[in-house]
Amino acid sequence: MERSIELLVSLLEPLGFELRTVGSGEECLALLRERREDWRPDAVFMDLAMPGIDGWETLRRIRHEALGPTALAVVSANAFDRGLDNDAGIGPRDFITKPVRMNELLDWLGRALDLRWLSARAAATEPAAAPDEAGSLTLPAPTQLRALQELVNIGYVRGIVKRLDQIEAESPQSAAFVGRMRVMARGFQLDEMNGVLSRALAD
């Protein structure tokens, strides 16, 4: 699976979204043309660079044939694409730049699907560490903290969990700190994690 697709799946599946992934524009159109009664997509995320017909042409056909939802977004590594005029009905607010960030993704979904996000704090099985409490724990090496923060910044929760496992294996003395960060990751408290990591790196 292409990394940007894997990242979207890892971000959205834990939130309860049902996802379908395809590898080309033709596959996307074929899936939408099935018009299945048991599965009607609410949103489509389109990469522009694909084998066969590109993302722009796929979007045009979706619009022309009235195949899919009105909520269409482009996922692109090129921020310049955001400012380009196009005939596919994609506005600047419908561009999500790579690497995909959790906050940007959730903001777009909230606008496009008229969703209200509930706080994830209740999902945690125990209270997350307060910043001063986390700071009193034995911290991993700065290189490990920076690597973890990079994953937090893009919202890659599956990668965060794997990195925490690695940190615990390499720095067993930091197990308490890792445990607290796991609680925050399970509750999708990424802003709080970023704050804790920033303060830890500044000390």
Domain ranges of the chain: 3-113, 121-202
- How large is the C-alpha radius of gyration of the chain? 20
For the full predicted model, state whether its pTM sits above 0.75.
no
Q: What is the pLDDT of residue 118?
A: 64
What proportion of the chain, given as a percentage, has pLDDT over 70? 86
> Taking CA 94 as the corner, what is the angle to CA 31 and CA 119, rounded to the nearest 5 degrees?
95
Q: What is the pLDDT of residue 89?
A: 81
**Average pLDDT value over all residues in the chain:** 82
User: From CA 17, how far away is CA 48, in angstroms rounded?
Assistant: 23
What CATH number does domain 3-113 carry, 3.40.50.2300, 3.40.50.360, 3.30.930.10, 3.30.565.10?
Answer: 3.40.50.2300
Predicted pLDDT of residue 33: 92
CB 110 within 8 A of CB 93: no
The predicted structure's pLDDT at residue 127: 44
pLDDT, position 50:
85
60: Cβ–Cβ under 8 A, 6 or more apart, which residues? Answer: 87, 88
The answer to whether 82 and 92 are in contact (CB under 8 A) is: yes
Question: Across residues 156-166, what is the average pLDDT?
Answer: 88
Q: Which residues contact 21 (CB under 8 A, 6 or more apart)?
A: 1, 5, 9
Average pLDDT, integer, range 146-156? 88
38: DSSP letter: T
Region of poorest pLDDT, from 43-47, 80-84, 109-113, 147-151: 80-84
Would you state the pLDDT for residue 77?
Answer: 80
> Each residue of 167-202: pLDDT tens digit?
999 988 988 889 888 888 877 788 888 889 998 888
pLDDT for the residue 27: 94
Cβ atoms of 196 and 134 within 8 Å: the answer is yes
CB 100 within 8 A of CB 8: yes
Asked if residue 153 lies in contact with residue 194, where contact means CB atoms within 8 angstroms, the answer is yes
Structure confidence by residue, pLDDT tens digits, 32-78: 999 888 888 999 999 988 888 999 999 999 999 998 787 999 988 87
Distant-in-sequence, close-in-space partners of 57: CB < 8 Å, separation ≥ 6: 25
State the pLDDT at residue 83.
Answer: 59
